Structure 1
Amino acid sequence: MNTIDFSAYKGLIFDMDGTLIDTMPAHMAAWQATADRFNFPFHQDWLHSLGGMPSFKILSEVNREHGLSLDPKIVSRFKMDTFAEMEEHGEIISCTNIVLESFLGNKKIAVGTGSQRDCALRLLAKAGILSKLDAVVTATDVERHKPFPDTFLLAAEQLCLGADECVVFEDTELGKQAAHAAGMDCVMVESGKLIFHPK
């Protein structure tokens, strides 16, 4: 078990993609197919760095980065459909799921994700995680997405907890920025280990 002391927190808020479930390879495959279909450059590291941002917002970044005028709604719908049709969306990530399991029934547990609600609920149910959660906040539920704090603040509110009573688990820089902007400590998943980043 890791050496981080979680006793000070009443609520645990987990990002989903790349934090609880290793969906990033499937997301990257879907982005590759989308880039091929709509003829824009596919840069895996750059796209990965935007993890936590909804697909339609990533498309706005693609347009800005490459001087394109793709329709974010049409292109992101293709990407999300491609992702949804994949058989394998990834294994659960053990270091975070061990923490979730160990505090089940003792602390309130939420997910705060940049995925759309229907996709997030489907993935969480398939991974056997959904039934263990007290709240789920998705890109569908907030106006301002990561790195803004809204996702995590709404999750804390749905858990009936203050920001200072919650800790966030993340795997991207955008997610960590969102956690710190919310006034919450952040635990990052780095190479299969949990690394503590206080606010």
Structure 2
Amino acid sequence: MIKAVLFDFDGVLVDSYKYHLQAWKFVLEPLGIRVQPQEVFLNEGQPVMGIARNLLKRTGRHFSDAEIRELVERKNRHFQAHNRARFIEGIPEFLRDLKQKNIKIALVTGTLRKNIASVLSPQQMRLFDVIVAEEDSPRGKPYPDPYLIAAQKLGVPPDECVVVENAPLGIQAAKSAGMRCIALTTTLPSQYLQEADAIFPNVAELRQHFPQFYLKG
């Protein structure tokens, strides 16, 4: 019996990716880097410093940690100032379903709490029993640490948790934590998500099929 559902944030709970892409373009295109959406999506889940390092490799130049940190700070400021992301269709209803069944819910992400707060209202943030952001885990995805920290805070064993993800690094983190994982094809096609236990095209399909897969005793 599943006792907790742990959600990734960007692309799973909220439709924030176009705003992240705009922010990456804002800081990287002046350096001559053409931002490819799929490249960003494949790197998603890990701490933003890691994403930046991978995207900067194409320049062939060396960037110090201080330079990368400054670039990341500008990227985050742009995102926080310009994003208009909202809950993905079906998410509020799915969260309500879980609450009614006394299933605990957590938000587990490699993004900053400031980024979360720029998208969700305080009332929306209170829907989650636990929030684990970049600042809360020394090692981010694909390490299992963020999901294990969330499970510990929830008081639920990993094998009684299911994770909802949309990126390979997040799926890897969930499976390494000993949790079942559902993937949504909101940003990447299913060929990149094969390590998940189940794959759905959208939240409506997930909500429809979730009881038969995970709520049986």
Write the letter of the residue equivalent to 1:138. A
The structure-2 alpha-carbon separation of the partners of 1:134 and 1:40, relative to structure 1 and needing over 3 Å to count, comes to same
Q: CA deviation at 1:109?
A: 1.0
Shift of 1:174: 0.9
Task: For 1:36-47, list aligned pairs within 5 A.
Answer: 36-47=29-40
Q: Distance in 2 between matches of 1:109 and 1:15?
A: 11
Partners of 2:162 and 2:120 lie apart in 1 by: 20
SS, match of residue 94 in structure 1: coil
Q: Which residue of 2 aligns with 1:93?
A: 88
Partner of 1:3: none
Most deviating of 54-63 and 9-18: 54-63
What pairs with 1:160-199 in structure 2 (closer than 5 Å)? 160-190=155-185, 191-192=201-202, 193-194=205-206
Question: What is the CA deviation profile of residues 111-160 of structure 1, one whole-angstrom value per residue up to 9, with x for unaligned ones?
Answer: 1001012222342327x521111110011111111111111000001101
Given that residues 24 and 75 in structure 2 are in contact (C-alpha distance below 8 angstroms), is that contact kept between their aligned partners in structure 1?
yes
Aligned residues: 189
Q: Distance in 2 between matches of 1:45 and 1:187?
A: 20
- Between the aligned partners of 2:90 and 2:165, the Cα distance in structure 1 is 12
Task: Tell me what 2:26 maps to.
Answer: 33
Question: For structure 1, which segment, 38-47 or 133-142, has the greater mean C-alpha deviation from structure 2 after superposition?
Answer: 38-47
Q: Which residue is equivalent to 2:153?
A: 158
Counterpart residue type for residue 144 of structure 1:
R
Q: CA deviation at 1:27?
A: 0.6
What CA deviation, in whole Å up to 9, does each residue of 1:28-77 have, x standing for no partner? Answer: 11111111233323222111211112221111112334422232101111
Secondary structure at 2:110 match in 1: coil
Q: Report the equivalent of 2:116.
A: 120
The TM-score, its normalising length taken from structure 2, stands at 0.79
Q: Which is helix-richer, 1 or 2?
A: 2
2:80–2:118: 8 Å Cα contact kept in structure 1?
A: no
**Conserved in 2, the CA contact under 8 Å of 1:148 and 1:181?**
yes
Please tell me whether residue 102 in structure 1 is matched to residue 92 in structure 2: no
| 1:52 and 2:45 correspond | yes
Q: Report the Cα distance in structure 1 between the residues aligned to 2:28 and 2:138, rounded to whole angstroms.
A: 26
**Structure 1 position 87, deviation (Å):** 4.7
Asked if 1 retains the 8 angstrom alpha-carbon contact of 2:162 and 2:181, the reply is: yes
Q: TM-score, normalised by structure 1?
A: 0.86
Between 1:33-42 and 1:104-113, the stretch displaced more is: 33-42
> Which amino acid letter does the alignment assign opposite residue 14 of structure 1?
F
SS at structure 2 position matched to 1:78: helix
**Deviates most, 20-29 or 61-70:** 61-70
Unaligned runs of 5+ in 2: 186-200
Are 1:75 and 2:83 matched, yes or no? no
**Residue 80 of structure 2 is aligned to residue 84 of structure 1:** yes
Match in the other structure for 2:7: 14
Aligned-residue CA RMSD in angstroms? Answer: 2.1
Give me the whole-angstrom Cα distance separating, in 2, the residues matched to 1:83 and 1:121. 11
Between the aligned partners of 2:148 and 2:45, the Cα distance in structure 1 is: 15
Give % identity. Answer: 29
Do 1:149 and 1:179's aligned partners in 2 also have CA atoms closer than 8 Å? yes
SS at 2:20's partner residue?
A: helix
Unaligned segments of structure 1, at least 5 residues: 1-7
Following TM superposition, where does structure 1 have runs of at least 4 consecutive aligned residues deviating by more than 6 angstroms?
195-198
